[in-house]
Structure formats: structure tokens, C-alpha cells
């Protein structure tokens, strides 16, 4: 069985969708196609999960896409603070002393 899931390319990037797909690559195969403002993700089950229907998996997959998207946004939003903390931390070491 193959199921197509569409994502709006204005909302999610192809990289984010690929990251979420890779997490499940042991049980499902993924094919991506970009059509206008849509990213079409075709999903095929390759290892049947007896505890999860295909439709349930699709819902879980969509949640993982959202999760990876939000993680990326948080990473970008906090990069200045993270870099400041790292700079401060390493400025206290003697790594630069010759």
C-alpha cells in the first residue's frame, strides 16, 4: 500500500520532512516530489508493524515533521545565546595560552 501525504512548502521545508522520514526508514520507504507549493511525500510500508495501522503511522509521521520543524526554529532562535554561553565558557579555559 502506498499513501501520499501533502505538505505546504511555505510551512515545511523538504529537509525537515526528510529528517522525519529518515527516522522511520527501517519500516517505510519515502519518495518526495515537489509540485507547485506542495511537497508530496509518498509512503510505502516495507515492514508491517502489527501494533500500528498505516493511517496511525501517517499521523505519527506528521507529528514528527512538526517536531523537527520546531526544533530547527528553536535552534535558530537560541543560537546567539548558545554561542554566547560557549564563548564565555571557553574564554575561562587556558586553551589559548601558549
DSSP string, 51-93: TS-HHHHHHHHHHHHHHHHHHHHHHHHTHHHHHHHHHHHHHTS
Mean model confidence pLDDT for the chain = 90
| Residue 70 CB-density burial (10 A; 0-12 exposed, 13-18 middle, 19+ buried) | exposed
Name all domains of the chain by residue range, CATH numbers in brackets.
Answer: 2-91 (3.30.70)
Q: What are the grid coordinates assigned to 24, written together?
A: 522511520
Tell me the per-residue pLDDT of 28-69, one tens digit each, with 9 for 90 and over. 999 999 999 999 999 999 988 788 898 999 999 999 999 999
The answer to which of 23-32, 47-56, 81-90 has the lowest mean pLDDT is 81-90
Q: Tell me the pLDDT band of 95, cut-offs 50, 70 and 90.
A: low
| Better-scored residue on pLDDT, 88 or 29 | 29
Amino acid at each position: 500500500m502506498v499513501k501520499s501525504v501533502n505538505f505546504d512548502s511555505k510551512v515545511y521545508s523538504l529537509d525537515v520532512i526528510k529528517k522525519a522520514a529518515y527516522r522511520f526508514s527501517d519500516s517505510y520507504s519515502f519518495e518526495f516530489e515537489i509540485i507547485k507549493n506542495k511537497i508530496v511525500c509518498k509512503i510505502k510500508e516495507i515492514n508491517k508493524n502489527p501494533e500500528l495501522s498505516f493511517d496511525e503511522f501517517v499521523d505519527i509521521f506528521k507529528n514528527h515533521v512538526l517536531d523537527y520543524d520546531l526544533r530547527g526554529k528553536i535552534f535558530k532562535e537560541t543560537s546567539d545565546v548558545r554561542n554566547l554561553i560557549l564563548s564565555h565558557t571557553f574564554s575561562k579555559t587556558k586553551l589559548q595560552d601558549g
